[in-house]
Amino acid sequence: MIDFSFPAEVEEIRLKVRNFMDTVVRPAWDATDQSDRSAVVKTIVGLRKQARDEEHLWLPHMPAEWGGMGLGSTAMAAVSAEAAKVSIGPFVLNAQAPDEGNQHTLLHWGTPEQKEKYLRPLCEGTTRSCFAMTEPEVAGSDPTLIKTFAYRDGDEWVINGHKWFISGARGAKFALLIARTEEDPDLPQAANSCFIVDLPNPAFRIVRDIHTMSGGHNHCEIMIEDLRVPAENMLGGRGQGHLLGQYRLGPARLAHCMRWIGQAEIALDMMVKRSLERFSHGSLLAEKQGIQWMIADSAMELYQSKLMVLHAAYKLENKLDFISEVSMAKHFVANSLWKITDRAIQVHGALGYSTDTPLANMLTQARWSRFADGADEIHQMRIAQRTIAAYKDFGSTTKATGDLPL
């Protein structure tokens, strides 16, 4: 029997997160002047303290010995979807990108000294971090092309390069930086290494906050000029930067999907609510076939998204091969989020286009989901390659379509 219900203790946590978001976080966020950075910081800091000390909803993804709740990937799907229904929800639980991915990475790859110096304060919520991989001169979806270069000089590495769209760089206390260390590796994937860079540092210079279609969100362009990093700050082994990055990005992609499901559900709820309240040309919008099709398509896409994420999370949690499932989920959920939010705006008409509802901001935020952590086209290419390979190896595509017993 396939059981899609959560254990009682996970369901209790999910409902507790939902209640905390509905009764505490959303009202506090709505009452905050979100154009005032100091007010935003004050609200988030206060809510984080309450989440940690009163609600015991803190670091749901991390082990108890690091102050976390020790939830597995499937339980995290439930928690993340609920938290993401308020934009600051993941921040309040200390489960937001890029810190969440960096916490996992340091836990797996860090030395005891690195964990104590960098992971401990990150888990305590007293510092923030960033992940510096993407570069403007090369394709972000192909890290084997990275040009930022590091060479050894005694007990230090000297790094020069150019990074951009480094989320959370301004105000971060350290960066996990990917740089090329091998000039002629046996494999392109063995060219890069990862370094922990203490910040701020004048050699790691923030050029600007890159403004996007939804404004500025601390996505920074960085110039790296003769940056010196102690040799003991290499994270993982030399030439393992690509492997480390892929280790980090697989679960991070799925974590994004979990949060996107929460956002998509909010959009669908708003779409249906509006259709039940708006009267036009003799009937409610909910009674018109064109609107019903939008609702039906959205419901089916959200249902598929949830199933794909739960299955990928199950495989990740049980240490099964999850690469194909995460890639398919990332592509499908990102596109579903975009389409569902766009339909919700259409049902709201001019109101949806305005900033009087959260939908306009949700749509501009949703747009980046189709290229962050691998563009749609890269995932489609990899999915096709794995499907073809499965047929060649096994005479069937079953292995490439979830390897499910049907």
* Residues forming CATH 2.40.110.10 domain(s) in the chain: 129-235
What is the model's pTM?
0.93
Residue range 129-235, CATH number? 2.40.110.10
The string over 81-97, giving b where at least 16 C-beta atoms fall within 10 Å of a residue's C-beta and e elsewhere, is bbbbbbbbbbbbbbbbb
pLDDT band of 280, cuts 50, 70, 90: very high
Domain with CATH 1.10.540.10 in the chain: 8-110
What does the pLDDT look like over 7-23, one tens digit per residue?
A: 999 999 999 999 999 99
CATH top class, domain 249-400:
mainly alpha
User: H-helix or E-strand containing 215?
Assistant: strand 215-230
Q: Which part of the chain is CATH 1.20.140.10?
A: 249-400
CB neighbourhood size of 190 (10 A): 17
Query: Which of the listed CATH numbers 1.10.3720.10, 1.10.10.370, 1.10.540.10, 3.30.56.10 matches domain 8-110?
Result: 1.10.540.10
User: CA 379, CA 250: separation in Å to the nearest integer?
Assistant: 12
The pairing of beta strand 234-235 with beta strand 204-212 = unpaired
Task: Kindly report, residue by residue over 211-262, the tens digit of the pLDDT.
Answer: 999 888 899 999 999 999 999 999 999 999 999 988 898 889 999 999 999 9
